[in-house]
């Protein structure tokens, strides 16, 4: 259970409760309610659905735009990790 949750179950639950309260206070200060957030999420999903296949083209275009930056950085990070961890083994 420790491995799945990332800590003792009671500790993780306590942290989640405290974090939820803090986020709730911040959202309340911003004038947001859970129902507004859920409604906004519902509207976003509905708009994407209404766009139909255009949404996939839009999503794919943003994916390619981000991948141009993310993938080379990830590859560089993996190679850097291999180079630096390989020197530690000697």
Residue 90 has pLDDT above 70, yes or no: no
Q: Report whether 48 contacts 42 (CB < 8 A).
A: no
Domain boundaries, the chain: 1-32, 38-90
Question: How much is the pTM?
Answer: 0.44
Q: What is the dihedral of CA 7, 10, 12, 17, to 10 degrees?
A: -170
Tokens 């020197």 identify what position? 87
If one compares 26 and 3, the residue with the highest pLDDT of the two is: 26
pLDDT tens string 9-51: 899 899 999 999 999 899 889 888 888 888 988 998 888 777 7
Please tell me the predicted confidence (pLDDT) of residue 20. 92
Q: What is the pLDDT of residue 52?
A: 76
- pLDDT cut 70: percent of the chain above it: 89
What was the pLDDT predicted at 68?
Answer: 92
């Amino acid at each position: 259970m420790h491995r799945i949750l990332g800590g003792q179950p009671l500790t993780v639950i306590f942290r989640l409760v405290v974090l939820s309260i803090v986020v709730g206070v911040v959202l309340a200060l911003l004038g947001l309610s859970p129902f507004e957030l859920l409604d906004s999420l519902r509207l976003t999903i509905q708009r994407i659905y209404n766009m139909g296949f255009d949404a996939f083209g839009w999503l794919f275009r943003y994916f390619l735009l981000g991948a141009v930056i993310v993938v080379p950085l990830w590859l560089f990070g993996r190679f850097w990790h291999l180079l630096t961890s390989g020197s530690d083994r000697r």
